[in-house]
Amino acid sequence: MRLFSAALSTAVAAGLLAGCAGNSTGSNSSLPNPVAGAQTHGVGAAGFRGIPVSAVPEKFLRTHHRGLFGKAATPAAIRGIYVSAFAASVLWGFQKNDSGNAPSTCTVSPTSSVNSFGVDDSGTLMVPDAFSGISVYSNSQMCGPLLGTITDPYGQAADASSPDAINGNIAVGNIVDNSGLPGSLSVCSLSSLTCSANLTNPSILEIGGVAMSSDGDCWADGINSADVGVLVYYQGCTGSGVVATGFSNGFYGSVDLDDKGNLVTVSLFGPSFSLPSTVNVYSGCNPACTLLSSSNLAGESIFGHMGRENERFVTTDLENASVEVYRYKSTGLTLMYSFTGGIPCASDECEAAAYSPSSKK
């Protein structure tokens, strides 16, 4: 898993995944494979920031409303699972239950430099790209056609979240802002094809995941200047936000919401940058968090999301080169099965996974 934040290893040099287009299969990236066990953090050769597998901050290495397209459809059930990989040239769509390890059913072709992505309550796919903005794809089917690309003038987009990406606002997490400034949360929309606001907080150095609730509140998960996990709550997705109390994640990762409004968060590392990664479930966090459960994942994970029925959680495992499906309860997660489906996770490092549609927020 690699965010745009910590630098790519010099063997990797450029891009993750990115924006998509239609149902055509793209070729694998020509970028060289990452050095085994590489751990780097800083500005990569392509000029953006990213987080490789087992990445540790650099200093540790040195020292040891209605839109243009009308009302979105609301499918009643999960259609499938999307998966992205760090150096791949496509984003894959899989059937919703792939316990038999079947191959992908469709692909969308990204541009470059994608870490995570989001899927809204109706199945609309939002794919941030570090340099090309946020591409939004129709919920008419898995791997639907491109609806438009939103310009993000504020930074290097790494994650996106919205309950209704077609008609409402989209929260975009910029792992770092332009000119290497600390990360931010941008408020964007498909109707305007740009971002109307950029929210910062002095406690955030880099942003990993973002989440937006149906009532318009936002959360940004990141690390502070001490490289410790921090969560910032933005009421109404405005202002400078408030640092959440009771948040105990050791590092950053994805943020999602279940149907009870609980935050389902991934922490890439535990104390002292230990593995495995964990999923921590919190109630509240507006701004006071109450920890409901903490579950170890199978290996190293950074971006995962809830399914529509709030019974499944899917993520990728860089350590074991697979996609993993967990049974979800707010009291804890249980691994159900894993699959690869022909994705070259061992070489391209699958980084993010999400159900389509997502959990209703």
* Whether residue 204 has pLDDT greater than 90: yes
Closest CA to 229 of 201, 199, 268: 268
What is the rounded CA–CA span in Å between residue 189 and residue 176? Answer: 20
Residue 324, beta-bridge partner list: 315, 338
**Res. 46: pLDDT tops 50:** no
Other Cβ atoms within 10 Å of 331 Cβ, number:
9
pLDDT at residue 322, rounded to an integer: 92
Q: Name the DSSP letter for residue 165.
A: T
Contact (Cβ atoms closer than 8 angstroms) between residue 86 and residue 17 = yes
Comparing C-alpha atoms, which of 4, 2, 5, 1 is closest to residue 224?
5
Residue 110 — very low, low, confident or very high, per pLDDT cuts 50/70/90? Answer: low
Q: How many CB atoms lie within 10 A of CB 74?
A: 13
In the DSSP assignment, the letter for residue 33 is P
**Closest by Cα among 261, 249, 327 to 294:** 249
Length of the chain: 361
From CA 80, how far away is CA 123, in angstroms rounded?
A: 9
* φ, ψ dihedrals at 63, nearest 5°: -105, -15
Contact 153, 32 (CB under 8 A): no
CB 100 within 8 A of CB 337: no
Strand (E) or helix (H) holding 279: strand 278-284
The pLDDT of residue 61 is 28
Give the pair of three-digit tokens for residue 295: 């579950």
Show me where the domains of the chain are located. Answer: 58-64+79-356
Q: Kindly report, residue by residue over 17-40, the tens digit of the pLDDT.
A: 222 323 333 333 222 222 223 232
pLDDT in tens, 75-103: 457 799 999 887 667 889 999 999 999 99
**pLDDT value of residue 129:** 85
Quote the Cα angle for 335-286-279, to 5°: 15
Name the token pair of 220. Answer: 């940004």
Q: Are 154 and 160 in contact (CB under 8 A)?
A: no
Q: Which of 87, 128, 89, 86 is nearest to 107 (CA)?
A: 89
Superfamily grouping for domain 58-64+79-356: YVTN repeat-like/Quinoprotein amine dehydrogenase (2.130.10.10)
Percent of the chain with pLDDT over 70: 76
pLDDT in tens, 122-144: 999 999 987 788 999 999 999 99
Provide the β-strand partners of residue 29.
none
Chain-wide mean pLDDT for the chain? 80
Give dist(CA 175, CA 217) in Å, integer.
19
The Cα–Cα gap between 175 and 49 comes to 8
* DSSP per-residue letters across 112-181: S-B---EE-TT--EEEEETTTEEEEE-SSSTTPPEEEEE---SEEEEEEE-S-TTTSEEEEEEEEEGGGP
Residue 15 has pLDDT above 60, yes or no: no
Helix (H, G, I), strand (E, B) or coil at 316: strand
pLDDT grade, residue 48 (50/70/90)? very low
pLDDT band with cut points at 50, 70 and 90 for residue 361: low
Biggest distance spanned by C-alpha atoms of the chain: 54
Rounded to 5°, the CA angle 114-206-347 comes to 35
- CA torsion 177-31-142-327 (nearest 10°) is -80
- Could you tell me where the DSSP H helices lie in 96-166? none
